[in-house]
């Protein structure tokens, strides 16, 4: 197999793996945070605005790990430096 097909194959497989692995852990974490927040709201409905605000900020911070993986996957597919290098040879 020549270099171009190896780089293309590895990039696409790794892009799929990156987004697959990188979305599992944040999904678990976000589900846990959401269930805890719902429990807290059920116990203390008066504190709903404060809990919701903290929940949104926390969810966005947890989600950013998934976003990093997504950006890496996109770079692998659309702006892969190694691919550009091999094509330019």
Partner 1 sequence: MEFNIDDIIYWQEGFLKVNATLLNSWVVMLFLIFLSWLITRKLTSGLNIRRGQAFIESFVVFVLDQIREETHEDADKYLPFIGTLFLFIVVSNVIGVIPGFDSPTASLSTATALAICVFIAVPVFGISNRGFAGYMKHYVQPTPFMLPFNIIGELSRTLALAIRLFGNIMSGSLIIAIVLSLSPLFFPVVMQAFGLLIGVIQAYVFAILALVYIASATRIQNLKELENEESGKKGNENKSTE
Binding region for partner 1 (CB under 8 A) = 50, 53, 56-57, 60-61, 63-64, 67-68, 70-71, 74, 78-79
CB of 37 to partner 1, least distance (A): 15
Cβ atoms of 59 and 34 within 8 Å: the answer is: yes
State the residue for tokens 């709201």.
41
C-alpha distances in angstroms, 19 versus 6, 48, 88?
Answer: 20, 33, 28
CB of 65 to partner 1, least distance (A): 9
CB of 2 to partner 1, least distance (A): 26
């Amino acid at each position: 197999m020549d270099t171009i097909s190896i780089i293309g194959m590895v990039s696409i497989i790794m892009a799929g793996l990156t987004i697959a692995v990188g979305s599992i852990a944040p999904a678990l974490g976000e589900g846990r945070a959401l269930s805890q927040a719902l429990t807290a709201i059920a116990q203390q409905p008066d504190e709903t605005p404060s809990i919701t605000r903290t929940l949104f900020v926390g969810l966005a911070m947890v989600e950013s790990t998934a976003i990093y993986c997504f950006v890496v996957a996109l770079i692998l597919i659309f702006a892969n430096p190694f691919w550009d290098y091999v094509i330019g040879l």
